[in-house]
Amino acid sequence: MSRIMTAHGPVRPVDVAVLSVVFGWAPKLRDYLCQLAARTEFTHWIFDHADTQAHDMLEVLESVSSTVTVYAPLLVPRCLRVAAYDDHIRSEAFDAVSRPVLRPRPERRYEYFLDAHVLTRPGIPEGVRQRQLAHLLRRVSNDNATIRVVPANAHYSGIEAFRLLAVMRGESVVHLEQHTISLLLHHHTEVTTYAAFARTLRSMALDPTASRHFIAGLLGRSS
Convert the pLDDT of each residue in 120-170 to its tens digit: 988 899 999 999 999 999 887 676 889 999 998 776 656 788 999 987 666
What is the CATH classification number for the domain harbouring 197? Answer: 3.30.870
In percent, how much of the chain has pLDDT > 90? 29
CA 86 to chain centroid: 17
Instruction: Please check whether residues 18 and 78 belong to one and the same domain.
Output: no
Instruction: Please check whether residues 178 and 90 belong to one and the same domain.
Output: yes
Helix (H), strand (E) at residue 145? strand 145-150
187, with CB counted inside 10 A (0-12, 13-18, 19+), is middle
Instruction: Please check whether residues 153 and 190 belong to one and the same domain.
Output: yes
Instruction: Please check whether residues 52 and 151 belong to one and the same domain.
Output: yes
Domain count, the chain: 2
Instruction: Please check whether residues 50 and 37 belong to one and the same domain.
Output: no
Q: State pTM to two decimals.
A: 0.73
Instruction: Please check whether residues 50 and 21 belong to one and the same domain.
Output: no
Structural domain of residue 92, as residue ranges? 44-222
Instruction: Please check whether residues 82 and 106 belong to one and the same domain.
Output: yes
Instruction: Please check whether residues 82 and 35 belong to one and the same domain.
Output: no
pLDDT score for 82: 92
Instruction: Please check whether residues 56 and 23 belong to one and the same domain.
Output: no
Secondary structure of 11-43 as H, E, C letters: CCHHHHHHHHHHHCCCHHHHHHHHHHHHHCCCC
Instruction: Please check whether residues 14 and 78 belong to one and the same domain.
Output: no
Instruction: Please check whether residues 147 and 213 belong to one and the same domain.
Output: yes
Instruction: Please check whether residues 189 and 147 belong to one and the same domain.
Output: yes
Q: For residue range 96-106, list pLDDT tens digits in order.
A: 455 555 565 66
